[in-house]
Structure 1
Amino acid sequence: MSIVLATTRPDELAAFSKALADKTGQDVDVASSGAAALEWVSAKSPALVVIDENLPDHKPLDLVREILMVSAMTLTAVITTMSEEDFHEAAEGYGVLMPLPANPAAQDGTELANRLSGV
Structure 2
Amino acid sequence: MLKLLMVVANKENFSNFAQELIKQKDVDLSWADSGQKALDMVFASPVDLVITDENLKDMTGLELALRLLSVNPMVNCSAVSSLDAKQFHEVSEGLGVVSQLPPKPGVKNALELLMRIRELKNLTTSGSFHNT
Name the TM-score, length of structure 2 as normaliser.
0.85
Q: What residue identity is the alignment partner of 1:21?
A: I
How far did 1:12 drift? Answer: 2.5
Q: What residue identity is the alignment partner of 2:70?
A: M
Equivalents in 2 of 1:94, 1:32: separation in Å? 21
Match of 1:31 in 2: 32
Name the TM-score, length of structure 1 as normaliser.
0.93
How far did 1:113 drift? Answer: 0.3
- List gaps (5 residues or longer) in structure 1: none
How far did 1:24 drift? Answer: 6.3
How far did 1:23 drift? Answer: 3.8
Larger radius of gyration: 2
Map 1:36-51 to 2 at 5 A: 36-51=37-52
By relative contact order (CA 8 Å, sep 6+), the higher-ranking structure is: 1
How far did 1:5 drift? Answer: 0.3
RMSD, aligned α-carbons: 1.3
Match of 1:57 in 2: 58
The SS at the match of 2:55 is: coil
Equivalents in 1 of 2:31, 2:43: separation in Å? 15
Equivalents in 2 of 1:90, 1:24: separation in Å? 34
Q: How many residues align?
A: 119
Q: What residue identity is the alignment partner of 2:103?
A: A
Q: What residue identity is the alignment partner of 1:118?
A: E
Per-residue CA deviations over 1:82-111 (Å, capped at 9, x if unaligned) read: 111100011112221100001100110111
- List gaps (5 residues or longer) in structure 2: 121-132
Sequence identity (%): 29
